[in-house]
Structure 1
Amino acid sequence: MDDRDKWIESIVAAGEGYHIEFKESLDKSFVEEVCAFANSNGGKVFLGISDKGVIKGVQTDNSFRSRVPDSLRQLQPQLDVKIEVHDNFIVADVPEGSEEPYACSRGFFLRNGANSQKLNRNEIIAFFQKEGRIRFEELRNGKADFENDFDERAFRNFLKLAGITSSIDKMALLRNLDCVTDDGKLNNAGVLFFAKDIDFLLNHAIVVCVLYKGTKKVNILDKKDFKENIVENIDNAILFVKRHTNVEYKIEKIQREEIPDIPDIALREAIINAVCHRDYFDRGSNVLVEVFDDRVEISNPGGLPSGLKPSEFGSRSVARNPLIASLLHRIDYIEKVGTGINRIKQAVDENEKASVEFSFDGSFSVIFRKGDAISNVGLGEKLGEGSEKSSEKILEIIKHNPTITREEISEIINLSIRGVEWNLSKLKDEGKIKRIGSRKSGHWEVIESFNY
């Protein structure tokens, strides 16, 4: 038995599989199998072998041979399929296509195990999305009405940040920025950057920020849903985290040095990355920024973009939303596409107060862990001026202004919201103050029995 016979014997013995398909004759399903292999990882179609692995044979004369490539001309786009003619069978060697998805006259097909299946409408859409053939940012937004929804203020701010003169015609600029369709309607990128209300037009594109008490998702101390344009959402999310995390003041020179729990560069890059590279086709999730006592988690829908392997993470860049990335780059929110992850790692390494972890299983998450996790027991001392001193200041403030908010107290005494919350809780437990009414419309009261 020569090598060719051994090869055929091994193929027949193994049977059909993900990369092997047997066809007894050249029928209309032949091109469907080729289409499925092209959309998958390639494979071989054997003409002249039955499903059960019996070599039936086919004609191999010139007339029959020409019918094989002729039948493949219906593939769109065209694909170079190598045809190998043997004594009594023909092999179509199908490469993995580089221009997926491929279609034949009967639709789109994909390899599923040892079978080929025709894709339905939703599967076709999902496949196009996966391969980057449909980009959310470029799609026309059917809800957006340019006259009513376009935000001139956001547009002027963008032009200022990008260093673009406002003397140029507005619609011409928007077309050059790829934010409107040919007929002058806002696409999704235009809505994200220049709409007055993205909550109505793209309600899954808001950024949700939450502050928890402790280290678990149980007690919420503060929550904000940011619904402005993409630039303001980024800025507001960054401010939310900075307001609820701590800064250590180090004085070794004439000027004091501020050392935040999380390096500003790393925090900024992580939030921009979450907003820029999220999967906007996922309408069931938002970008989520969560602040705990011991960590900050920033997560977004969508794992690694199609075409980026886990082993390439951090060393190779594939933009899921290249138009959004380009627009953010114009205003210097992105320094250089593909450098964000390394900038986060470098900033954390230099800071030495935090560590960082990345997760991309279904969703993408950046987790900053604080070097010295702050427990509720010693929170007051850790926050800077000592528990007793902070409590005294808060008591004095409440005495003169009972309706003051936690946020206002935070600004007055330069203490994080979390620190204010801890001290207020401590004062209530000690019977020194009580809350009258709701958090929004109520007020504080210093208890008279307490010898203030």
Structure 2
Amino acid sequence: MSILTSIEELLSGKKVEGSRMEFKEDWNPTTIMRTVCAFANDFENQGSGYIIVGVKEENGKPVRPVLGFNPDALEKVEKEMVGYSNLVQPGYMPRLSLEEIDGKHVLVIWVPAGSNRPYKVPDDVKVKKHKTYNFRIRVNSNTVIPNEEQESELIQLTAKIPFDDRVNTHASVNDLDFGLMREHLYQTKSKLHSESATMKVEELAEAMNLCQGAEEHRFPKNVGLLMFSDNPKKFFPAVQIDVVEFPEGAGAKQFEEKTFDGPIQKQLTDALSYLKANVIKGKVIKYADRAEADRIQNFPYDALEEALANAVYHRNYELREPIEVRVLPTAIEIISYNGVDPSLKQTDFEKGRSIRTRRYRNRRIGEFLKELELTEGRGTGLPTIYGGMKNNGSPKPLFDTDEPDRRYFVCELPIHPDFLEEIEQDEVNEEGGSIGGVIGGSIELTPRQLDVLKLIEQNNKISITQIAKELNIKSSSAVDKHVEALKSKGVLERKEGTRGYWQINPPKK
């Protein structure tokens, strides 16, 4: 059965990270079965692994052209694989596919994450008696025997299957859309697309690892219903993306809302298309001393695309809360629930470096989105967002992890300063006041800090809780951070007395 992407894309490493691939020059069942066991255990919830036989490796990369695998040996290897797979405890059978590239054949062993982990395998499957069994896991790009702590953690993962990879007994395999599944295979250039033309829905779902169970009671997996059913909201209420535009700011009553539903990858592409057409604006800046002009956007599309794709990837689909994209005059906020992995801290996001969560909430959704090139590879999303903002000349993105509650996660993309100047000048001309003085000064403030100042200018006795409510910020601690930043910049101070009040200070010249 063919893999879900093309062999060319697989070897390129663009859609599947190196930690999920292993290259073998020839058929070596002892080392191959150890890696099969490690991929099946899926210790870090990365998703499927691939072992490619007939490819030489140098520094973790495949050497092209490939060495090749003799297709006449396929039947023999398939029979051996059945026997070796029965040695895995509990039993586990990977999927084999003969693929053609560089004018030769290679054998691809596709190892979806197992549903009955933890798995053990003999150290040497070819030994006939007195086999020694061990667990195996992947650490970066290596297959190893877990240490005592890792083994204990692996055992605790028993039956803890990520939500998207669980079987849904409230639905039928016939709830999966045959056309949507084939469309995905066409987009990923999978050989399975042509092979599936004569298949039934159940057969294609089995081939794509979207269902599980015996023939008489086979059920779809949640990832299948989320990505390959016409109406996922039938099974998962509030699975949608809401784009809410506040032309006068978050505190105003006027807003426009647009909802995107359907398969989650369609929600993502439709919402991005809408934002690109209706929100993203460009500007050309010309200079007197040189011919080259700069082209900037109010919000860089590549950063917005990655931020929203990550929200779709990492949200908790068990909660009845939509992803919300709030379009404000000075920023775009993307809010997803129920927050990031506890292993990640607020400081991790503020540094902007590549970070890796300890456990991925939706391993299968991540696989499919990467195959469609809708999100970056493992751990590269944050640098992509930071890089997109920097290359556009925009301020750094802001993140709120809602520590310590972890109820939600907010990614805020501030508007480019050149577009902010237009908004600020309009506000100064129309309203004047101390905020105009602050904006027109030399102090650099974030859009959120400006929102806080505007509320304080209207009511200098407003509380932190009231500010959070007016700006629809769910955590008062997040407002505290903005207030402390304003104090440190000398723009704001707190006057105490019988009734305390805020004082806004004009910038020093």
Superposed, 1:121-136 pairs within 5 Å as 133-136=160-163
Using structure 2 for the length normalisation, give the TM-score.
0.46
Q: What amino acid is the match of 1:150?
A: L
| Whole-angstrom CA distance in 1 between matches of 2:291 and 2:232 | 46
Which of 152, 174, 190 in structure 2 is aligned with 1:99? 152
Which of 259, 264, 268 in structure 2 is aligned with 1:234? 268
Residue 284 of structure 1, CA deviation:
3.2
Kindly provide the CA deviation profile for residues 335-379 of structure 1, in whole angstroms up to 9, marking residues without a partner as x: 312101111001101101343111112211110111343539849
Residue 270 of structure 1, CA deviation:
0.3
Kindly provide the CA deviation profile for residues 59-87 of structure 1, in whole angstroms up to 9, marking residues without a partner as x: xxxxxxxxxxxxxxxxx99xxxxxxxxxx
Which residue matches 2:94?
none
SS in 1 for 2:282: strand
- Answer whether contact 1:209 1:288 (CA < 8 A) is retained: yes
1:326 aligns with 2:367: yes
Residue 160 of structure 1, CA deviation:
2.0
CA RMSD of aligned residues (A): 3.4
Change (3 A) 1:180 1:218: farther
1:336 aligns with 2:377: yes
| Whole-angstrom CA distance in 1 between matches of 2:294 and 2:168 | 47
Change (3 A) 1:220 1:193: farther
Q: What amino acid is the match of 1:178?
A: N
Which of 350, 363, 367 in structure 1 is aligned with 2:391? 350
- Answer whether contact 1:249 1:259 (CA < 8 A) is retained: yes
Which of 309, 318, 341 in structure 2 is aligned with 1:305? 341
Change (3 A) 1:244 1:311: same
Which of 246, 250, 253 in structure 2 is aligned with 1:216? 250
Which residue matches 1:86?
none
Residue 317 of structure 1, CA deviation:
1.5
- Answer whether contact 1:249 1:256 (CA < 8 A) is retained: no
Which of 145, 149, 159 in structure 1 is aligned with 2:185? 159
Residue 237 of structure 1, CA deviation:
1.7
| Whole-angstrom CA distance in 1 between matches of 2:244 and 2:368 | 27
Which structure has the greater CA radius of gyration? 1
Which residue matches 1:200?
234
Which residue matches 2:327?
291
| Whole-angstrom CA distance in 1 between matches of 2:291 and 2:239 | 45
Change (3 A) 1:156 1:220: farther
Which of 352, 356, 370 in structure 2 is aligned with 1:317? 356
How many percent of aligned residue pairs carry the same amino acid? Answer: 22
| Whole-angstrom CA distance in 2 between matches of 1:376 and 1:249 | 17
- Answer whether contact 1:248 1:260 (CA < 8 A) is retained: yes
Higher-RCO chain (CA-CA 8 Å, sequence separation at least 6):
2
Which of 367, 370, 377 in structure 1 is aligned with 2:412? 367
| Whole-angstrom CA distance in 2 between matches of 1:254 and 1:140 | 60
| Whole-angstrom CA distance in 2 between matches of 1:209 and 1:311 | 28
Q: What amino acid is the match of 1:316?
A: I
- Answer whether contact 1:205 1:286 (CA < 8 A) is retained: yes
SS in 1 for 2:412: strand
| Whole-angstrom CA distance in 2 between matches of 1:175 and 1:146 | 10
Kindly provide the CA deviation profile for residues 12-71 of structure 1, in whole angstroms up to 9, marking residues without a partner as x: xxxxxxxxxxxxxxxxxxxxxxxxxxxxxxxxxxxxxxxxxxxxxxxxxxxxxxxxxxxx
- Answer whether contact 1:137 1:189 (CA < 8 A) is retained: yes
Residue ranges of structure 2 left out of the alignment (5+ in a row) = 1-117, 120-147, 430-509
Q: What amino acid is the match of 2:369?
A: L
Change (3 A) 1:233 1:132: farther
| Whole-angstrom CA distance in 2 between matches of 1:218 and 1:141 | 42
Which of 250, 272, 279 in structure 1 is aligned with 2:284? 250
| Whole-angstrom CA distance in 2 between matches of 1:238 and 1:247 | 14
Kindly provide the CA deviation profile for residues 268-314 of structure 1, in whole angstroms up to 9, marking residues without a partner as x: 00000000011223x23221111011110001112222444555554
Change (3 A) 1:276 1:132: farther
Superposed, 1:22-101 pairs within 5 Å as 99-100=152-153
Deviates more, 1:309-318 or 1:179-188: 309-318
Which residue matches 1:180?
211
Change (3 A) 1:336 1:250: same
Q: What amino acid is the match of 1:162?
A: T
Superposed, 1:433-448 pairs within 5 Å as none
Using structure 1 for the length normalisation, give the TM-score.
0.51
Change (3 A) 1:194 1:246: closer
| Whole-angstrom CA distance in 2 between matches of 1:315 and 1:301 | 22
**Count of paired positions:** 261
| Whole-angstrom CA distance in 2 between matches of 1:360 and 1:209 | 21
Change (3 A) 1:222 1:268: same
Change (3 A) 1:269 1:185: same
SS in 1 for 2:397: strand
SS in 1 for 2:256: strand
Which of 293, 308, 325 in structure 2 is aligned with 1:271? 308
SS in 2 for 1:317: coil
Change (3 A) 1:217 1:134: farther
Superposed, 1:413-432 pairs within 5 Å as none
Change (3 A) 1:250 1:306: same
| Whole-angstrom CA distance in 1 between matches of 2:361 and 2:401 | 14
Residue 255 of structure 1, CA deviation:
11
| Whole-angstrom CA distance in 2 between matches of 1:150 and 1:375 | 48
- Answer whether contact 1:358 1:364 (CA < 8 A) is retained: yes
Q: What amino acid is the match of 2:208?
A: L
Kindly provide the CA deviation profile for residues 205-250 of structure 1, in whole angstroms up to 9, marking residues without a partner as x: 2111111122215434321221111111111221232234242331
- Answer whether contact 1:140 1:181 (CA < 8 A) is retained: yes
| Whole-angstrom CA distance in 2 between matches of 1:317 and 1:347 | 20
Residue ranges of structure 1 left out of the alignment (5+ in a row) = 1-75, 78-94, 104-127, 382-452
